[in-house]
Amino acid sequence: MDGHVGQQRWLRSGGLALVLVLVAGCSAVPASSWTPGPTIDHASPSPAATRTTATTPTASNEPLPSLAYPDVQSRGELTITFESPAAAPITMPLACEWTTPDRVAWLAVLDQPTIAGEEVWVGVNLVDDQDVTSGTEVFSIFREDAAAYATWPAGATGTVTFVERTPGDVSGTLRFDDLRPEVESAGAGPLPTPLDAWTRPLGGDTAYQMISGTASWACQPAPATVPTPGPVATEEPRPSLPALPKLSLVAGEQRQTGITGCGGGFSIDGTTGVDGCGPSFQAPGAERVVRIALGDPLRFVLPDGWTFADYRLGWVLQSEAERFRSAVPDSFAEYATSQDASGRVLELEAPPTGDWTVLLTWSATRGEDEMTSWPDYFRVVVESD
């Protein structure tokens, strides 16, 4: 299940995810620690949730899949009840992973149920939010070669609300309303074609084009081997993130700063970091357009004190950048490189007439400070007149 979910999971991008490598500072770690399965971060459930008494799943005569981490997992059950369309409840076995003897942090469905004649994967994420906003992955139904029913990515029409949660999330109920096959659940890259086949309802049954209902879970008691948390070490103060230089594209009175992608590094004021986000080939919006005349150069400008060391310049049609949705377009190519750049201004040959996504990957220095292979995206419209 995990591999399939990972394959269809929406790959969020556009933000700056930085992994800092600090000379000083350490994270808080429990004195007694353990190595779990693929858990997710989880804090206390919202006090606004209705508290109920936990129930123990009933025994089944069917053989149950083995637990991957029996020292920190117990068995449980998940029951999905459809209200729209009306259908018989579906119950499936769970692995409930405990971070402490009193808290369940992660639920894994151990079977692939069949809904409307179609085999699916079900995912439940015990997030903190009581009423889940669009863009958060909470309750999802994944399928082979078809869009997932989910509340993500941002813009999804469906909603999920936790209506019952016991202390420690040992059991509970969530409600899902108006979930539908989400086009964007395809992840990075061009959308599958034909699109109608990708967004087909469960089992091809139009009654399942939009679904509503509830999903209830109940976990058996935690294994005796789940460790009790020990004292937590004091966290050392961490240096703040230094101000990073912003690269600009300038044409006459027009000036736009780049949209940072993934893969760059920096070392500034003794703090070293790398950009560790996932696929993020950007397609800047219309509000970021810089217009230049055919034959005019691309003029990239660094802040005062910074000097270019090297660069790679490439571009692709804006329409292709948008179609590939965060993945690198097949037609993207680099047209200029230098390992011996200098100065704070680069003037480089621009693409031909058209609407382009331009990527400059650059390195620069300022005394002992360095920016390394830093990617910035721009939108450039080259006009013939």
Q: Tell me the per-residue pLDDT of 221-255, one tens digit each, with 9 for 90 and over.
A: 999 999 988 777 777 777 677 899 999 999 999 99
Across the strands, what pairs with 272? 21, 267
273 vs 154 pLDDT, higher one: 273
**Could you tell me what percent of the chain has a pLDDT over 90?**
66
Question: How high does pLDDT run on average in the chain?
Answer: 83
160 and 307 co-located in one domain: no
Domain boundary among 204, 219, 234: 219
* Domain span at 260: 248-383
Examine the pLDDT at 64 and tell me if it is beyond 90: no
Question: Are residues 56 and 185 located together in one domain of the fold?
Answer: yes
What pLDDT score was predicted for residue 132?
65
Based on the fold, state whether residues 203 and 282 are members of the same structural domain.
Answer: no
Statement to judge: residues 269 and 376 lie in one domain: yes
Co-location of 139 and 262 in the same domain:
no
Report yes or no on 98 lying in a domain. yes
In a domain, 32, yes or no: no
Is residue 117 a part of any domain in this protein? yes
Summarize the confidence of residues 305-322 as an average pLDDT: 98
3-state SS, the chain, equals CHHHHHHHCCCCCCCCCEEEECCCCCCCCECCCCCCCCCCCCCCCCCCCECCCCCCCCCCCCCCCCCCCCCCEEEEEEEEEEEECCCCCEEEEEEEEEEECCEEEEEEECCCCEECCEECEEEECCCCCCEECCCCCCEEEEECCEEEECCCCCCCCCEEEEEEECHHHCEEEEEEEEECECHHHHCCCCCCCCHHHHCCCHHHCHHHCCEEEEEEEEECCCCCCCCCCCCECCCCCCCCCCCCCCCEEEECCEEEECEECCCCEEEECCEEEEECCCCCECCCCHHHEEEEECCCCEEEECCCCCEEEEEEEEEEEHHHHHHCCECCCCCCEEEEEECCCCCCEEEECCCCCEEEEEEEEEEEEECCEEEEEEEEEEEEEEECC
pLDDT at residue 180, as a whole number: 95
What pLDDT is attached to residue 276?
Answer: 60
**Count of domains observed in the chain:** 2
pLDDT at residue 37 greater than cutoff 50: no
Same-domain status, 373 and 295: yes
Which pLDDT score, from 0 to 100, does residue 279 have?
63
pLDDT at 41: 34
Is the residue at 61 inside a domain? Answer: yes
Are 326 and 377 found together in one domain?
yes
pLDDT band for position 40 (cuts 50, 70, 90): very low
Q: Are residues 206 and 272 in the same domain?
A: no
pLDDT at 48 over 60: no
- Indicate whether 95 and 188 sit together in one domain: yes
Q: What is the pLDDT of residue 60?
A: 46
Is 70 exceeded by the pLDDT of residue 28? no
Question: Do 272 and 359 share a domain, yes or no?
Answer: yes
pLDDT digit string, tens, across residues 296-308: 999 999 999 999 9
CATH number of 320's domain? 2.70.50
What is the rounded CA–CA span in Å between residue 375 and residue 312? 9
200, 219, 238: which is the final residue of a domain? 219
- Statement to judge: residues 202 and 281 lie in one domain: no
Whether residue 49 is predicted with pLDDT greater than 90 in this model: the reply is no
pTM to 2 decimals? 0.69
